[in-house]
Structure formats: structure tokens, C-alpha cells
Structure 1
Amino acid sequence: MNDESDGKHGVQSLEIGMGILRAMVNGQRSMMLKEIAAAADMPASKAHRYLVSLIRAGLVEQDPMSSRYDLGPFAMNIGLVALDRLDRVRLGLNVIAEMRDEINQTTALAVWGDKGPVIVRWERPRRPITVNVITGTVLDMLSSATGRVFAAWLPKKTVAPLIAAEIKAGDVPPDLKTKAGVEAMLAEVRRDGFATTNGFHRVPGVEAVAAPVFNFKNEITMTVLVVGVQGMFDVSADSEAVTSLKRHAEALSLRLGMHGEPKVPT
């Protein structure tokens, strides 16, 4: 069997295991072995073998007193992460739409991807001259406002390789060509609670400002940003755009369960 054919067939044992988990989820309570086997439509001996593996993986746990099975800590974690990701994006989309209506500028939402910050959605304003943002665009760490925000609050081990690569390539603002310069900029972003491109954007004539959104762990989970035409777009700290941006980012953070101060990266 070739790789393509094998990929189409999938892994049967994994599908059976997922069937057991589905039966437990649908049961909506802890269950005995015979109940799980009946719900999954398989012999109890077979269900037991799968349950042993699922327990080892943390997806299932068994109460030693009652012998009942229930979802394990890893299954709970998967559910919480999935809920967090679903809610944050949905709520974020609402926020950038509200911001667009409020300040009549291009707004966008970005999350952290494998290669850096990624634009997941943007909203077009009602004005004759606008800046379009392409969904799926991966942003630079040092020449984008969003990249600077993520760099300011993500763990250093996560962002350091990307920052080092950009500095080595040389296409960065003059004051960010050294580690000391970068650290000073990130400290300023953490102090102000937002970042701008300060006239140095990868696309000439574009200016952007971004603010962090934190989750219930007080960790950055995404950014909201505003993009406009340089010279026609005020990104000073007390401007309408920045004031609106920070207010919406803070409200969304509270909605996602943030409490206390943001976690400072180490």
C-alpha cells in the first residue's frame, strides 16, 4: 500500500479510540465499562484494551473507588484550548468590526502562527482611500506593529530566533539593529500598551498601530490593529485610533478572563 492510499484509509485503531471517547462524551457522566462498550458497540474486553491506552494518554481516567471511567485531564485541556481558540477569534472579529465602525479605518485581527504573527481577518472602512490587508499574511517582528506587540509579550525563546534572523537580514529600522535597541523598543511597548511602526513599515506609505489581547492566563493570545495611510493617520498616544484600539483590546482581554497584570516574558 502506498503512502497516498494509506493516508486515505487513516488509522483504524485511532478511529475506534475516538469512538470510545465520543461515547463517553455523549454519556454526559462517568460510566461503567459495560456502559461504554454498549455505547461504542463493541465487546467489553475490546473496550477495556482501548481504555487502558486512553488512560495512559491522559484522555480518560478511572475512579479507583467506583471503577467508573470519565474524561481525563488531557481531554479537559483539549476542550478548554479549543473553547479558548474558538471564542477568542469570534469575539475578536466582533471587536475589529466595532472598531472599524467607530474610527472608520482599516482594522484587523492577528494571531501567532508557526512563522510569526498572521492576519486572520480584516475589516474595510468606508472611505475613498484605504489600506487593504491580505488575510494569511505573515508579519515581520520588527517592522510591523503587530510583530512588536507579540515580541513584547511572548516568551523570549519563542521570538528570539525570528528577531535575530531579521536583524541579520538587515532590513530593520536603524535603531533596531542591535539587541539593546530591540530591548529598549520592547520595554517601551510594554510600558505604553501598544506599538506603532513609527514610519518604518515594510509597505511604503502605510502606518499601523497594534495592541495586545490577553487571555485568562494573563498571556498574550492575539492582537488587534489599525492600519492607515501614512500622513493621513494619527497614531499618537492620545489619538482617536489609539484610544479606541487600547479600549477595545483591554475590554476583550477582560472578556477572555484576564485578571491582574499581563505576564512579563522571560
Structure 2
Amino acid sequence: MHDDLEGKHGVQSLEVGMSLLKAMVTGQQAMMLKDIAAAADMPASKAHRYLVSLIRSGLVEQDPLSSRYTLGPFALNLGLVALGRLDRVRLGLSAIADLRDAINETTALAVWGGQGPVIVRWERPRRPITVNVITGATLSLLASAAGRVFAAWLPPAQIEPLVQAELDSGKCRANVQTLDEARAVLAEVRARGLAAISGHYMVRGVEAMAAPVFNFKQDITLGLVVVGVEGSLDMREDGPTVTALREAAHALSLRLGYAPPAA
């Protein structure tokens, strides 16, 4: 009977130990015993007993000099295995479908293709006039929202030669003439946290927004894109479309292991 109940209801002591681990993950740094106990809402003496067992398992380790506790090598291994099994594109496809449902606009998922971002999938909204998105083609770095997002967060040494080549081609419709002007545009994208283009998009009559998705290495790994007919897309900073795009990109980043920098 006892085993049957445990199978249905779980093991309470394991759940208590997990609450301590969650508190340490949320703290994002090595923590003192009293802080871990307070975050897990339990007496310090009880927390200490569980931490001893967690240290023995390799999930936690304690710095002998500072007495602070942090995640141990086995916890790090678990995290790396979990991250390795995540399919970022699969999660991204789910994210753009949910975003389309939330804002009823065309949404798309972009990945880096070496010379620029590439759209791998797009979702059609429920409205009579929509914008079709071409999949598989490399997008402009300056005249597309996805391009600006990747160019803003990828290393300058990797990006600037590609930006210069785009400027030299004379085919850029982004109203940017020099590398210094491009740097200023990308700095503005980073400051705002997303890219928005209206009037100088790579296709006439279309405007778009894109937000970066980061991975556990704090690197940009995907771009979430919203595309609409020029003049019809709500691009207000505090509007529901921009807000939903920001929230979707942030949620997906967290799902991929991104840890936002401390304020």
C-alpha cells in the first residue's frame, strides 16, 4: 500500500530537495545557506540537511572559503544534456504559431544562413489580405528586420564585411549609405531590443519587425519575425504587437537556456 501511494503521489523528500535546487537556479549565483533557505521557504537547519545529500549526489557543491553553495558538476551535466536535446527550430516553429494566434499577423522564423538570415517557416494569419514570405532565400542584412536583428547581435568581425559587401552592391534599399551609418542603425536595434522597418523594407509595400532569440551561450540563435502590409501593422512601442513579439522571443530564449544579465 505504501509503495502504491508513493507511486501516485511522488516522494516528498525529493520534491523538497528540488525546491532548494530551484532556489539556487533562480538566484543565478553562489548563495549562503540562509538565502537558499529563505528562497525555498524552509528553516535553515532543514535546508542544510538536504544540501548535505545534494552535495553527496554531485548536484550541489560548497566553496570551502566562502561557505556559499552553488550547482555541482552533475547538475551542470544534466543541464548540458537537456540543452543538447532541445530542438531549437521545433520550439521556434511552435513559438511563431502561437504568436500568429495571439496577434493575427504573418509570423516567421529565421535562422542564420552564413551570409544572412534565412526564413525556414512562416504562419499565415486569419485575414483577407496577407503577406506571403519566401522560405529558403537569404535576406538582406540592412533592408530586412531579421537581417538587422542578426547583424546587431552577431560579432562585428563576422558581420561588418557582409554589411560592407551589401552596401557596395548598390542594391540595399535600407536608406543606409556607409558602414558608419549601418553601425548606428544596428546600435539602435540593440538599444531597443528589436528591429522594425517600414518604408525601406526589401519588398515594397511591406513592413516588418523582428526580435532576437538567444541560447544558453548568450548568443543569438533565432529570429522571430512579424510581417504586414505597410501602414496596417501596429508598430507602436507599447502596442500589443510589439509587446507580444518581445514576450515570445524572451520566453523562447529562456526555454533555450538563456540567462538574462542581472540588472
- Give the alignment's TM-score, normalised by structure 1: 0.65
Change in Cα spacing, 1:178 to 1:246, as seen in structure 2 (3 Å) is same
Where in structure 1 are there 5+ consecutive unaligned residues?
1-75
1:245 and 2:222 correspond: no
Report what 1:189 is aligned to: 189
Change in Cα spacing, 1:81 to 1:223, as seen in structure 2 (3 Å) is farther
Distance 2:255 2:166 in 1: 34
Distance 1:183 1:131 in 2: 29
Spell out the pairing of 1:98-113 with structure 2 (5 A cutoff).
98-113=98-113
Is the 8 Å Cα contact of residues 175 and 181 (structure 1) preserved in structure 2? no
Give a deviation string over 1:100-120, Cα, whole Å, max 9, x none: 001000000000012210001
Change in Cα spacing, 1:135 to 1:174, as seen in structure 2 (3 Å) is closer
1:178: Cα distance to partner?
Answer: 1.3
Report what 2:147 is aligned to: 147
Is the 8 Å Cα contact of residues 108 and 224 (structure 2) preserved in structure 1? yes
Distance 1:245 1:114 in 2: 25
Report what 2:84 is aligned to: 83
Report what 1:218 is aligned to: 218
Q: Secondary structure at the match of 2:119?
A: strand
What number of residue pairs does the alignment pair up?
Answer: 184
Is the 8 Å Cα contact of residues 120 and 135 (structure 2) preserved in structure 1? yes
1:137: Cα distance to partner?
Answer: 2.0
Q: Secondary structure at the match of 2:160?
A: helix
1:80: Cα distance to partner?
Answer: 6.2
Is the 8 Å Cα contact of residues 218 and 261 (structure 1) preserved in structure 2? no
Distance 1:114 1:174 in 2: 21
Spell out the pairing of 1:42-61 with structure 2 (5 A cutoff).
none
Q: Secondary structure at the match of 1:92?
A: helix
Q: Where does structure 1 differ by over 4 angstroms across 4 or more consecutive aligned residues?
A: 79-82
1:169: Cα distance to partner?
Answer: 1.5
Distance 1:164 1:177 in 2: 10
Letter in 1 for 2:222: M
Letter in 2 for 1:194: L
Change in Cα spacing, 1:246 to 1:82, as seen in structure 2 (3 Å) is closer
1:174: Cα distance to partner?
Answer: 6.4
Spell out the pairing of 1:152-171 with structure 2 (5 A cutoff).
152-171=152-171
Give a deviation string over 1:103-151, Cα, whole Å, max 9, x none: 0000000000122100011100010000011221210000000000000
Distance 1:174 1:116 in 2: 15
Tell me how large the CA RMSD over aligned residues is: 2.1
1:239: Cα distance to partner?
Answer: 2.0
Letter in 1 for 2:176: L
Report what 1:209 is aligned to: 209
1:173: Cα distance to partner?
Answer: 4.6
After TM superposition, the structure 1 stretch with the greater mean CA deviation from structure 2, 153-162 or 210-219, is 153-162
Is the 8 Å Cα contact of residues 206 and 228 (structure 2) preserved in structure 1? yes
